[in-house]
C-alpha cells in the first residue's frame, strides 16, 4: 500500500494527454498566472521566453514541446522540460547554429 508521502509527487496534468497547440501567452496563463503562489513558475517561463527569443534571433523555426511537472498542477516545479522540433536542414546546413540548438546557448565564437 502506498503511503501519503508517495502521493505528494503525483500532480494532475493541466491539459488532457496528447498534443495541444498554444502560444506562449496561453502557456503563461495556464502554467504561471494560474499559480500566483508559485515561487518557480514565473522564472521558468522567463527562461523559456529567452530561449524562444534566441532561436528567433538566429532564424530557427520549429515547435517547442513542453512536458514534465511544469505542465502539471505542481505548485513549484524545479524545471521546465521541452524539446525543440525543427527541420533537420536548419541544423545540418548551419554549423554556426549547432551550439545554439544543441545547448540553447549563444553560439561560440570561431
Rounded to the nearest 5°, which phi and psi values hold at 12?
-70, 145
Rounded to the nearest 5°, which phi and psi values hold at 36?
-65, -25
C-beta of residue 24 within 8 angstroms of C-beta of residue 52? yes
Give pLDDT tens digits for 30-64.
999 999 999 999 999 999 999 999 889 888 899 99
What is the pLDDT, as a whole number, of residue 8?
62
What is the pLDDT, as a whole number, of residue 103?
78
Mean pLDDT of the chain: 86
pTM, to two decimals: 0.81
For residues 10 and 22, which has the higher predicted lDDT (pLDDT)? 22
Mean pLDDT along residues 77-103? 87
Strand positions, DSSP E, the chain = 63-67, 81-85
Amino acid at each position: 500500500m502506498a503511503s501519503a508521502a508517495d502521493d505528494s509527487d503525483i500532480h494532475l496534468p493541466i491539459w488532457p494527454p496528447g498534443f495541444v497547440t498554444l502560444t506562449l501567452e496561453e502557456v503563461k496563463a495556464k502554467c504561471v498566472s494560474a499559480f500566483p503562489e508559485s515561487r518557480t513558475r514565473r522564472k521558468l517561463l522567463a527562461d523559456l521566453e529567452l530561449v524562444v527569443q534566441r532561436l528567433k534571433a538566429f532564424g530557427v523555426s520549429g515547435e517547442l514541446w513542453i512536458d514534465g511537472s511544469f505542465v502539471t498542477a505542481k505548485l513549484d516545479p524545479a524545471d521546465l522540460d521541452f524539446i525543440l522540433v525543427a527541420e533537420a536542414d536548419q541544423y545540418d546546413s548551419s554549423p554556426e547554429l549547432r551550439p545554439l540548438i544543441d545547448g540553447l546557448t549563444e553560439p561560440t565564437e570561431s
